[in-house]
Amino acid sequence: MVHVPVATRYVSPVRGKRICAAVLPLAALVPAALPCAAAADGFKVGTARVVTTPPLLGKAPEPDAFGVCGPQYDGARMFALEEPYTDQSGDKRFNYPEPYCDANANGRYDGIYTSGGVDALANRVHDDIDARAVALSEGSKTYVYVSVVALGLYENYTRGMRDDAIK
């Protein structure tokens, strides 16, 4: 039996070299871009990070749309953006067919789910969800590279973003 280190199991040596060749020049630019932007003879570099993790309940105001929800929707919620519900089962989480306030009238309960399986409501924040970007410009053209934690960000949405960026 041949032992293959975890780091090399999923990336072929050729692909790994291409990835390194593409990433290393950008990685070298990032320290030069701190604290946020730098300029030298028309060359500009900028970086940004935006955290998009849903806020915990009590740490941010609930959406205005939840104002129509009555006091009977008093089930425990972890995040401010989860629709209120009535916890009839007493297990401190939403379960169909428990009643919920469909604040946006889309016909389904809008909770914060994880990618760990079917009906897996998030009960904590392990890592922030974020987007990171680096912008490079030499004056006439600007290139922006963005890395997005894309849980639930499907191809049809990213295609629309690309199309909008070209306009």
- Calculate what percentage of the chain has a pLDDT beyond 90: 46
Q: What is the pLDDT of residue 47?
A: 96
Q: Is the model more confident about 152 or about 7?
A: 152
Q: What is the pLDDT of residue 6?
A: 41
Instruction: Round the average pLDDT of the chain to a whole number and report it.
Output: 79
- Is residue 40 scored above 90 in pLDDT? no
pLDDT tens figures, 10-22: 333 444 444 444 4
Short-list 92, 86, 79, CA closest to 124: 79
Q: Which long-range contacts (CB under 8 A, 24 or more apart) does 15-18 make?
A: none
Global pTM reads 0.60
pLDDT tens figures, 67-125: 999 999 999 999 999 999 999 999 999 999 999 999 999 999 999 888 777 788 989 99
The residues near 159 (Cβ < 8 Å, ≥ 6 apart) are none
Are 124 and 78 in contact by the 8 Å Cβ rule? The answer is yes
